[in-house]
């Protein structure tokens, strides 16, 4: 079967105690529920494997694509490192209410405890209500002992860094950095393939059955980086009809492409798949070898590593997040 075309997947929608309706109303994700917190766009997490929604590979799973096409799909270097495991988990998140305050373990800790990768991630804010905010890191250097004291006295917020956010804000969240998405924030998330989260505080809320969610207080203690940073938000520049860098780490590279018109893409210098997330407007992807693929705001597509040349076309100003492994 032909793999050289832009591959779309069926979103995997996740009901959350803090979820809302924006993934349905703004991005046209199909659900009868009003508490959809996450749309997993590209996933290789056990029990949540993405299924192709278009073209010759329709109904095939991402896992099947990996085992069949190997480096043709993800690139030689990526396949050598990860084999039949896709290295990234791509999501849209709608926080109607605040998420729990949490932290993710690094690769070593996650492997020892859970036989999993760690969870380095980044956020791109697509929309934020007036009071929309994020918690990212500490506002001063602290210690494990001081952290525990603040947590036990329910004063944890006093030592956490809280920031109001706006559309276009970018935050990089390395493992160990305590964080939470605040109420009224809609964002794109790019992360390592891992579902390991240590929840340290959940606002004392209860679910529909009157139960509180599990906390991971002890597990989190050795996972947290207790140092504070002078700045947490990523600064970047946008250039029209070009790929501008946002985040470059060992796990992924993310750029932003601001478009109006036609962009001729040549990826012969990349030995990786590419993922595009449309965060504004709409884009058409085309070349002579496949049927053109339209990408609307809130949609995601995977470009196989062997597909090197194509056009991105925007009839109005549009924006894409471009994700790959360097």
Largest Cα separation within the chain, whole Å, is 64
Q: What is the spatial distance between Cα 231 and Cα 315, in angstroms, rounded to a whole number?
A: 37
8 A C-beta contact, residue 255 and residue 321 = yes
Please name which of 76, 75, 90 lies closest in space to residue 307, comparing C-alpha atoms: 75
CA angle 169, 175, 176 (to 5 degrees): 105
The H or E element spanning position 285 is strand 282-287
Distance, CA of 171 to CA of 189 (rounded, Å) = 10
Closest of 221, 229, 232 to residue 146, by C-alpha: 221
Q: Which of 31, 206, 244 is nearest to 124 (CA)?
A: 244
Q: Which helix (H) or strand (E) holds 200?
A: strand 198-201
Q: Is 46 exposed, middle or buried (0-12, 13-18, 19+ CB in 10 A)?
A: exposed
Contact present, 248 and 174 (Cβ < 8 Å): no
Give the angle 184-139-237 at the CA atoms, nearest 5°.
Answer: 65
Which of 33, 177, 199, 213 is flagged as catalytic?
199
Question: d(Cα 22, Cα 4) in Å, to the nearest integer?
Answer: 32
Using CB atoms within 10 A of its CB, is residue 322 exposed (0-12), middle (13-18) or buried (19+)? buried
221 alpha-carbon distance from chain centroid = 25
Contact 271, 326 (CB under 8 A): no
| Annotation says 33 is catalytic | no
The number of residues making up the chain comes to: 326
Active site positions, annotated: 199
């Amino acid at each position: 079967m032909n793999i050289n075309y832009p591959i779309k997947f069926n979103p995997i929608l996740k009901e959350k105690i803090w979820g809302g309706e924006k993934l349905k109303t703004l991005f046209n994700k199909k659900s009868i529920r009003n508490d959809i917190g996450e749309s997993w766009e590209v996933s290789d997490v056990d029990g949540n494997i993405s299924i192709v929604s278009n073209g010759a590979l329709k109904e095939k799973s991402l896992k099947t694509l990996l085992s069949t096409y190997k480096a043709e799909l993800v690139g030689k270097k990526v396949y050598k490192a990860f084999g039949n495991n896709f290295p990234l988990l791509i999501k849209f998140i709608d926080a109607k209410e605040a998420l729990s305050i949490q932290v993710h373990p690094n690769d070593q800790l996650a492997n020892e405890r859970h036989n999993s990768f760690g969870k380095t991630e980044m956020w791109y804010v697509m929309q934020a209500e007036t009071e929309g905010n994020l918690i990212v890191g500490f506002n001063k250097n602290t210690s494990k002992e001081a952290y525990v004291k603040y947590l036990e006295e329910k004063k944890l917020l006093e030592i956490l860094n809280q920031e109001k956010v706006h559309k276009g804000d970018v935050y990089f969240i390395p493992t160990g950095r305590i964080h939470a998405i605040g109420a009224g924030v809609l964002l794109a998330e790019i992360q390592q393939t891992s579902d390991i989260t240590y929840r340290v505080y959940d606002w004392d809320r209860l679910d529909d059955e009157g139960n509180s969610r599990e906390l991971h207080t002890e597990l989190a203690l050795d996972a947290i980086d207790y140092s504070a940073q002078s700045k947490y938000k990523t600064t970047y520049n946008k250039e029209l009809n070009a790929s501008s860098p946002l985040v470059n780490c060992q796990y992924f590279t993310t750029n932003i492409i601001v478009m109006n018109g036609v962009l001729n893409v040549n990826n012969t210098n990349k030995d990786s798949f590419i993922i595009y997330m449309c965060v504004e407007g709409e884009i058409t992807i085309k070349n002579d070898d496949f049927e053109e693929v339209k990408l609307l705001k809130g949609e995601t597509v995977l470009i196989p590593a062997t597909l090197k040349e194509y056009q991105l076309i925007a009839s109005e100003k549009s924006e894409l997040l471009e994700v790959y492994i360097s």
